[in-house]
Amino acid sequence: MALSRVCWARAALWGSAVTPGPHVTRKLQLVRCGLAWGAPRSSKLHLSPKADVKSLISYVVAKTKVINGKYHRFLGRHFPRFYVMYTIFMKGLQMLWADAKKARRIKTNMWKHNIEFHQLPYREMEHLRQFRRDVTKCLFLGIISIPPFANYLVFLLMYLFPRQLLIQHFWTPKQQIDFLDIYHALRKRSHPEILCYLEKVIPLVSDAGLRGHMTELCTKIQHGTHPAVHDILALRECFSNHPLGMKQLHALQMKALSRAMLLTPYLPSFLLRYRLKTHTIVIHQLDRALAKLGIGQLSPQEVKSACYLRGLNSTHIAEERCRAWLGEWLQISCSLKEAELSLLLHNVVLLSVNYTGTGR
């Protein structure tokens, strides 16, 4: 046995032609196969569980996009009206979600750097203000959809009353124009009432010069003349205390001013006064931030939105006219102190009622 092993080893080394036994031949074949195919694969060559999950997710996402595209084409072909509503609703959700993430970033930055609302740049201030109003409107829908099966009723109400229940993200382009016209018509109804009240308080003004100036201003406005900036600023003393200061306004006047600011008038007097004051302070802070930024930095849509917030129906006015009007507003607003903000509140009517182009 030992002699055979030695002979076999010598033959293997010297390249002998000695034929090995069957057992040894089988071992050589296995070794050669191993050399031909290489070493066994290491476990590192296999995909990791994370890579498998990523590939699965990408596959599911790709398939979902294909199915979603087919579904959209089916709706657009067979149900075109429903497809328009569905598309607007989905885009509205995406815009609302994007607004929520932006508002969260702004609030986080305020918290980290200890920044107050009035210290923010104009666009961030405006975004937070508008997002709060949108969330308040959406919150009402969320509350009424809490009871079981009430969500079906909510969808019906959203379809029947989109202006009252939905925010602008979910309006069609035509609805945006029509609804803004409707809202402006509602606040325009309060203009005569506000001007009438200004005429009634003229005898209560102690200074004779201010009485004459206010009489002249009311007469000009009633005859369709757009007042100049200096004509309005000359009356700032009347609006800082009695009879037109924020604390001296009567309930009926506050209701009319609330309608002019597109705020609900169906609240107790102390809540109306608080809400009008808070809303006017926010606009005053926005005006100061906008003055720092400059009107020329605003896009056309931002200019029209800013004018509409301050009482002008900018949907039917050229952009240049809107920028000129906004410049007049800022000239008045940035000249006022906090005690004179009642004038800014009335300025929603004084500066916008006869502006050129407000035919509606």
Q: Are 344 and 279 in contact (CB under 8 A)?
A: no
Please check whether residue 157 lies inside any domain of the structure: yes
Same structural domain for residues 77 and 101?
Answer: yes
Same structural domain for residues 232 and 243?
Answer: yes
Q: How many domains does the chain have?
A: 2
Please check whether residue 95 lies inside any domain of the structure: yes
Same structural domain for residues 259 and 308?
Answer: yes
Please check whether residue 138 lies inside any domain of the structure: yes
Please check whether residue 54 lies inside any domain of the structure: no
Same structural domain for residues 186 and 330?
Answer: yes
Same structural domain for residues 166 and 182?
Answer: no
Same structural domain for residues 136 and 75?
Answer: yes
- The CA distance from 241 to 338, in Å, is 12
Whole domain around residue 253: which residue ranges? Answer: 173-351
pLDDT at 61: 77
Residues with Cβ within 8 Å of residue 184, at least 6 apart in sequence: 308, 313, 360
- The CA distance from 94 to 271, in Å, is 34
pLDDT at 213: 93
Same structural domain for residues 77 and 193?
Answer: no
Same structural domain for residues 202 and 122?
Answer: no
Same structural domain for residues 336 and 204?
Answer: yes
| pLDDT 10s digits, 143-156 | 887 887 777 787 78
For the cut 80, the answer to whether the pLDDT of residue 250 exceeds it is yes
Long-range own/partner contacts, residues 171-176 (CB < 8 A, 24 or more apart):
171/88, 172/84, 172/88
> Maximum Cα–Cα distance for the chain, whole Å?
139
pLDDT at 10: 45
pLDDT at 6: 41
| pLDDT band, residue 79 (cuts 50/70/90) | low
Domain boundary among 125, 144, 170: 170
Please check whether residue 3 lies inside any domain of the structure: no
Please check whether residue 27 lies inside any domain of the structure: no
Domain boundary among 136, 170, 204: 170
| pLDDT 10s digits, 1-16 | 444 444 444 444 444 4
Flag the least confident range among 86-95, 245-254, 279-288: 86-95
Find the mean pLDDT for residues 214-221: 93
Please check whether residue 267 lies inside any domain of the structure: yes
Rg (CA), the chain: 37
pTM of the model: 0.78
C-alpha distances out from residue 225 to 71, 181, 357, Å:
57, 22, 13
User: What's the whole-number average pLDDT of the chain?
Assistant: 83
Same structural domain for residues 189 and 319?
Answer: yes
More confident of the two residues 326 and 73: 326
Nearest to 239 by CA among 276, 271, 268, 269: 276
Q: Other CB atoms closer than 10 Å to residue 109's CB: what's the count?
A: 12
pLDDT at 43: 44
Domain boundary among 111, 142, 170: 170
Q: Are 310 and 355 in contact (CB under 8 A)?
A: no
Find the mean pLDDT for residues 94-103: 94
Nearest to 293 by CA among 350, 334, 245, 255: 334
C-alpha distances out from residue 316 to 225, 312, 357, Å:
19, 10, 7
Same structural domain for residues 249 and 223?
Answer: yes
Please check whether residue 21 lies inside any domain of the structure: no
Q: Are 310 and 295 in contact (CB under 8 A)?
A: no
SS (H, E, C) the chain: CHHHHHHHHHHHHHCCCCCCCHHHHHHHHHHHHHHHHCCCCCHHHCCCHHHHHHHHHHHHHHHHHHHHHHHHHHHHHHCHHHHHHHHHHHHHHHHHHHHHHHHHHHHHHHHHHCCCHHHCCHHHHHHHHHHHHHHHHHHHHHHHCCCCCHHHHHHHHHHHCHHHHCCHHHCCHHHHHHHHHHHHHHHHCCHHHHHHHHHHCHHHCCCHHHHHHHHHHHHHHHCCCCCCHHHHHCCCCCCCCCCCCHHHCCHHHHHHHHHHCCCCCCCCHHHHHHHHHHHHHHHHHHHHHHHHHCHHHCCHHHHHHHHHHCCCCHHHCCHHHHHHHHHHHHHHHCCCCHHHHHHHHHHHHHCCCCCCCCCC
Same structural domain for residues 247 and 100?
Answer: no
| pLDDT 10s digits, 272-295 | 999 999 999 999 999 999 999 999
Cα four-point dihedral sign 103, 109, 114, 116: negative
